Structure 1
Amino acid sequence: MARKNLLEFTPKGIYCQQADIYIDPWQPVNKAILTHAHGDHARRGSNYYLAHHTSAHVLRLRLGEDINLETIAYNEPIYIHGVKVTLHPAGHIVGSAQIRLEYEGEVWVASGDYKTEPDFISQPFEPVKCHTFITESTFGLPVYQWKPQPQIMNEINQWWEDNQNQDKVSVVFAYSLGKAQRILCNLNHELGKIFVHGAIWNTNEALKKDGLHIPATIRVNRELAKDEYRGGIVIAPPSALATPWLKKFQPYATAAASGWMTLRGAKRRKALDRGFVLSDHADWNGLTSAIDATGAQRVYVTHGYKSAFARYLNERGIEAYEAETLFEGESIDNVPVEGED
């Protein structure tokens, strides 16, 4: 039986005609539902935003204090022109949500970005039964299979301790929203002082207002003497990589936390001393298990290895299509952000 189309991919974004609302639009629209606060999913200029409670302050930090923002809890239904809309945990970052839409018995889920491994700071991923599922495929190849988070965090702590023994400052590059908080919450704070870039400091302050507990850190600033950093660890966004901002920490060792560190050569191309395979996106097993759990008969594959992943799903008997979007997935590159000291 042919399925109804509750969502369509338009030049402005993913659109629900029945509710007259867009999901993560990449152009300004009248009404937008946001899966999370990363810049490729939450963009400025729309007249109204709907998102989860725990992304409220970080959205205002990124989009402006004066945005017209309504927030709801997970599994709290809201009805828009007869379409039932609920948000469900995506496990990607704090406040991230899958968007479930139901209309006349038809159910679609737009997952945004997601990961299935619990990180113990964001609400764990929740599979949602649906007829049609929109999935990312950032790491949609079998080569991408993550080690357990505790193992990676132990590696980061050991690297920090090794650098201390060489009288070096440890500098880890990680997304300001999501990965930076995961690392901060799992560092061994008994090892030494923990410093954060201004962009991460500002993000942390916003997340604290939304109820997230974040351990104490020191903001990098011009007033701190160079000796203050000795033996410490600094968390910075990828935008700070290979910039004069790093000079204040010499001598230092650098590392990046990214799923792309799986690839041989990624660390070398960025002139990093170390790479840690840590991602806020689902790996191959996470993607396939999540889709299986939805029971979806049709899947649209967005950013990432979408051609290969859609082909794999079709070979398994799942009706799958590639979808063009402006979502970017994960990168160890980043645009400059406010708050750089």
Structure 2
Amino acid sequence: MRTGDLVVQRPEGLYCPPGDFYIDPWRPVARAVITHAHADHARVGHGHYLAAREAEGVLRARLGEITLQTLAYGERITHHGVGLSLHPAGHVLGSAQVRLEHGGQVWVASGDYKVAPDRTCAPFEPVRCDVFITESTFGLPIYRWSPDDELFDGINDWWSRNVLAGRASVLGCYSFGKAQRILSGIDPSIAPVIVHGAVEPLNRTYRAAGVALPDTQLVSEVKDKADFKRALVLCPPSAIASPWMRRFADAQAAFASGWMQLRGARRRGGYDRGFVLSDHADWPGLMQAIRATGAQRVIVTHGSVPVMVRFLREQGLEAGSFDTEYGGDAVEADETPAAGEGA
């Protein structure tokens, strides 16, 4: 790092020296700008939180009583001479990129992001800058996502076949972001949808934010026990190996994650089916986002960092890295099938 950099790495997290605040710090600090509410980016213990307005419900639901200031996307404030604004990251509800302007420089810290369409959150907004801090969770050329229509057709077909066979379709997915994206894309006319107790509070938060989701039931709300043999069941993957699953008898179990593109990941997880679905950008998405910023300097965090840095340097960009404590999909999900994903 250089003298005058707008973001540097400290033991507490990524720090803006002229603004005297942190971005997604992993240790308690006085002032924290939060890109989104996943557990590896939004932690308890900070004195003051700043986040996008759309993230308020989820942050309060997950962190409890916090001192929270929110901004509309694109709204600009100035703190200690640093211009700051938040812009959609397309990752989950309320996710934001942080734009910083000071001393003639513009930096953007993207947090986690994806460029693919998503009915459940504001779409990714390219922000022009001099320096772009990018994630690299799926920063290898092998990771290329299929269009959502193909993906959800596959989920609906799998579910329909299981209904005909008289068995439930249990789909493991992260409770915040992934579950709501699945709900937004499935065909709820096939059969009832049951969700785990970890999922439903987030569904309520999404609905309160105006996101349209189909009706869902908790296990305790199911009146017709026959539904246990035909429903689509969304739950954290940890629940699939727990006593909670017994009521679904010979259910088919699947996992929705970007890691399902890895050969052998489904087998190692013991799933009957894997669906390649991620809330992070794939390799083409990462390259598209970086190009759209116009940045000549790129700093890579969490994921396939050496590969991304080497590739970007080969493209003529100045590339380096920050060593962070973000967990990609692993920390987010408590459900890692392989190398870690909230994918």
TM-score by length of 2: 0.94
The root-mean-square deviation of aligned C-alpha atoms, in Å, is 1.6
Structure-2 residue corresponding to 1:208: 207
CA contact (8 A) 2:39 2:331 kept: no
Give the SS at the match of 1:218: coil
Aligned equivalents of 2:221 and 2:281: distance in 1?
38
Residues 65-116 of structure 1: per-residue CA shift (max 9 Å, x gap)? x210111110000111111100011000111000000012110000000000
Give the SS at the match of 1:255: strand
CA contact (8 A) 1:37 1:58 kept: yes
TM-score by length of 1: 0.95
CA contact (8 A) 1:106 1:131 kept: yes
Residues 13-65 of structure 1: per-residue CA shift (max 9 Å, x gap)? 1101111110000011101010000000000000110111111111011101x
Structure-2 residue corresponding to 1:73: 72
Aligned equivalents of 1:242 and 1:222: distance in 2?
22
User: Mapping of 1:91-240 within 5 angstroms?
Assistant: 91-221=90-220, 226-240=225-239
Aligned equivalents of 1:123 and 1:67: distance in 2?
24
Residues 132-155 of structure 1: per-residue CA shift (max 9 Å, x gap)? 110000111110001001110000
CA-CA distance at 1:226 after TM superposition: 4.2
Structure-1 residue corresponding to 2:33: 33
Structure-2 residue corresponding to 1:50: 50
CA contact (8 A) 2:84 2:101 kept: yes
Structure-2 residue corresponding to 1:276: 275
Give the SS at the match of 1:135: strand
CA contact (8 A) 1:238 1:332 kept: no
Aligned equivalents of 2:256 and 2:177: distance in 1?
11
The code of the aligned residue for 2:109 comes to A
Structure-2 residue corresponding to 1:19: 19
Runs of 4+ in structure 1 deviating by more than 6 angstroms, as ranges, are none
The code of the aligned residue for 2:186 comes to L
Structure-2 residue corresponding to 1:259: 258
- 1:199–1:87: structure 2 CA closer, same or farther, 3 Å change rule? same
CA contact (8 A) 2:51 2:68 kept: yes
Aligned equivalents of 1:238 and 1:80: distance in 2?
42
Identity %: 50
CA contact (8 A) 1:107 1:132 kept: yes
CA contact (8 A) 2:38 2:332 kept: no
Aligned equivalents of 1:331 and 1:92: distance in 2?
15
- 1:22–1:332: structure 2 CA closer, same or farther, 3 Å change rule? closer
Give the SS at the match of 1:264: coil
The code of the aligned residue for 1:207 comes to Y
CA contact (8 A) 2:39 2:332 kept: no
Aligned equivalents of 2:332 and 2:79: distance in 1?
38
User: Mapping of 1:277-296 within 5 angstroms?
Assistant: 277-296=276-295
Unaligned runs of 5+ in 2: 336-343
Give the SS at the match of 2:328: coil
Residues 289-336 of structure 1: per-residue CA shift (max 9 Å, x gap)? 110111111111101100111110011111111210001112498439
CA-CA distance at 1:224 after TM superposition: 5.6
The code of the aligned residue for 2:287 comes to T
Aligned equivalents of 1:242 and 1:250: distance in 2?
13
The code of the aligned residue for 1:69 comes to L
Aligned equivalents of 1:263 and 1:332: distance in 2?
19
- 1:235–1:49: structure 2 CA closer, same or farther, 3 Å change rule? same
The code of the aligned residue for 1:325 comes to T
Unaligned runs of 5+ in 1: 337-341
User: Mapping of 1:313-324 within 5 angstroms?
Assistant: 313-324=312-323
- 1:250–1:222: structure 2 CA closer, same or farther, 3 Å change rule? farther
CA-CA distance at 1:270 after TM superposition: 0.7
CA-CA distance at 1:223 after TM superposition: 7.2
CA-CA distance at 1:222 after TM superposition: 8.1
CA contact (8 A) 1:239 1:334 kept: no
